Amino acid sequence: MHWGTALMPGFQGKESNVLGNNGLGLFKGASAKQQQGAWQFMKYLMSSKVQADWGEKTGYVPVVKSAVTSTSYQAFLKKNPEYQAAVDAYEKAFSSTPFVGYNEYRNDLYAAVDATISKGESAKTALTALQKQTEQIIQDNK
């Protein structure tokens, strides 16, 4: 099979790409020792060497610029040019800001998008409902 990748097309001169997130978390209820251990582990995971190695072995784009520009990752891209588009997409990428209740909000967001695209609901109706749902999610999670 032969396949490739490309940047998402822009519209009216504007481009954007959504970043995925498998986030790391540090729980405030953890002991000081647990928090210190978690912080050390996060720093290890975010190191240039580990990020480059992880990217080369998984196909995910390293989240540390020094890993992307490293000799080993650049060699990986030369051997695997189909991954270059994902690297190039980072320049105009954004990530959602998570909050308590975010997963429920995200499900409601997807349902609103589906309602407009697949079910013919007006954007105003879908977004008005999403606004009310979002406000309720935030209120319920205070």
The string of pLDDT tens digits covering residues 111-132 is 999 999 999 999 999 999 999 9
Min mean pLDDT across 31-40, 43-52, 84-93 is at 84-93
Question: What average pLDDT does the segment 81-103 reach?
Answer: 87
The answer to whether residue 75 scores a pLDDT higher than 80 is: yes
Give the model's pLDDT for residue 48: 97
CA distances from residue 45 to 49, 55, 76, 120 in whole angstroms, order as listed = 9, 12, 19, 44
Residues β-bridged to residue 21: none
The answer to whether residue 72 scores a pLDDT higher than 80 is: yes
Residues in contact with 89: Cβ distance below 8 Å, sequence separation at least 6, in sequence order: 7, 8, 17
CA distance 58 to 77: 13
How far is C-alpha 1 from the geometric centre of its chain's CA atoms? 28
User: 64 near 46, Cβ under 8 Å?
Assistant: yes
0.75 exceeded by pTM:
no
The answer to whether residue 22 scores a pLDDT higher than 70 is: no
Q: Which residue has the higher pLDDT, 119 or 3?
A: 119
Give the model's pLDDT for residue 130: 97
Give the model's pLDDT for residue 91: 83
Tokens in use for 122?
Answer: 């007006």
Instruction: Quickly state the pLDDT bin for 56 (edges 50, 70, 90).
Output: very high
Give the model's pLDDT for residue 99: 84
- DSSP codes, the chain: ------PPP-BTTB--EEPP-------TTS-HHHHHHHHHHHHHHTSHHHHHHHHHHH-PPPSSHHHHTSHHHHHHHHH-GGGHHHHHHGGGEE-----TTHHHHHHHHHHHHHHHHTS---HHHHHHHHHHHHHHHHHHT-
DSSP 7: P
